[in-house]
Homo-oligomer: A and B are copies of this chain.
């Protein structure tokens, strides 16, 4: 990446010049780069912040993480704070308020103009992970009998107030969304072209209560940069832009990674999280899984006699447990990922189950054959013992892959996030089942 200025360069720039001189110098530097410089600066941050234009401070607060938004806000004088609240776009203001403690948010809302306060409370009512909760309400409406020429004049007057003018919307007399026209299509058409000729009436939109992950799917599927948000009566309420969705995608994948690794979710970055917070994030899952693993211990306990007769049986426990865990993880990850990307759904249940069965037979048999000769030759065990371990291995792989594909699909049916049914839980279940199979086989084949 060709970064324009390093963090140190930006700090130096902010320290060396006056607010007046900076206006020109800072044009074009990306807000996120300035934000990083301000946050990394060890000295008095308010000196830096107060040299920036309020428009730029709004952008910094918007880019800042949940923990940093209020830190930046507090660096400003009271009059500037008031101004900032007025300058923020609706979605930026809502994000800011949702990053605060409820009491503090209420206090700030009480300082807003009545109209703004109502608007913000309505938006906050949608829930932070819904289309309504992430949309901006600053969009441009045009009429279908306008010409390109009319629209260009309209944009010169009103365009500065909008979040983006890359998509413009046509409403019917009841305020329902009738069509959308892209700025791209407007500027490549003649001035006297009517909007009705170039607008698209088959508008793909999101309802205000749609989950943000589903909104992200719309962007990914269609490659859009903007999606309109409508209420239950199909009246236009707001727009969601590409940059918000990039954040959602990042957040949603991170959540999936966390769930799949038995971690509780946290919004903060690793380095900003305290040891105690990190420990909390991990303890509960580990505790639950540790207690579950004792069931596997109980199974072993049930075969104590067999084990004391043939201690060698213990030697192969790690290999069986690890292979089972890995085979199950492979299946569950493929299925969880397929569901997340919308490639797999419950109607594919039997197709998947059949496929996983044959895959596990193929992979399991191959591993079992390799294993049979390996332990016969290197561990010098008896043929009966080698057979016991190898058949157990095949069974383990089949059990693991079946459990690994069934559980995420069952979770999906029960409207639980399939990512929960990942490696850790599957491993625990597979361990118990496969060791039970192993010892049962051993007592039968070896006659102990």
Contact = CB atoms under 8 A, between A and B. Distances in A.
Interface in A298-325: 298, 300-301, 304, 307-308, 311-312, 314-319, 321-323, 325
A280 to B, nearest CB: 9
B371 A283 contact: no
Contacts of A355: 275, 278
B217 A262 contact: no
Contacts of A308: 308, 311
A402 B316 CA distance: 26
A29 interface: yes
A352 B279 CA distance: 13
A53 interface: no
A117 interface: no
Given A300-B318, A355-B275, A363 B282 contact: yes
A258 B333 contact: yes
A187 B165 contact: yes
A166 interface: yes
Q: Which of A30, A210, A297 has the most C-beta atoms of chain B within 10 angstroms of its own C-beta?
A: A297
- Chain B CB count within 10 A is highest, among A191, A351, A371, A427, for A427
Interface string A327-353: 101101111111001011000100110
Interface in A267-305: 269-271, 275-276, 278-279, 282-283, 285-287, 289-291, 293-294, 296-298, 300-301, 304
Contacts of A102: none
A143 to B, nearest CB: 17
A363 B275 CA distance: 10
Interface residues of A, number: 131
Interface in A154-184: 155-156, 159-160, 164-166, 183-184
A362 interface: yes
Dominant secondary structure at the A interface: helix
Q: Which 10 A-B pairs have the closest CB atoms?
A: A223-B243, A159-B188, A28-B202, A261-B333, A296-B318, A28-B200, A293-B322, A293-B319, A279-B362, A297-B315
Interface of A: 1-4, 27-30, 32, 152, 155-156, 159-160, 164-166, 183-184, 186-191, 200-207, 210, 214, 217-225, 242-243, 246-247, 249-250, 253-254, 256-258, 260-263, 269-271, 275-276, 278-279, 282-283, 285-287, 289-291, 293-294, 296-298, 300-301, 304, 307-308, 311-312, 314-319, 321-323, 325-327, 329-330, 332-338, 341, 343-344, 348, 351-352, 355, 358-359, 362-363, 366-367, 370-371, 374, 393, 397, 423-424, 427-428, 431, 435
Given A258-B334, A297-B318, 14 more contacts: A4-B204, A27-B202, A156-B190, A160-B188, A166-B166, A183-B183, A224-B243, A225-B225, A254-B341, A263-B333, A279-B363, A317-B317, A318-B321, A326-B427
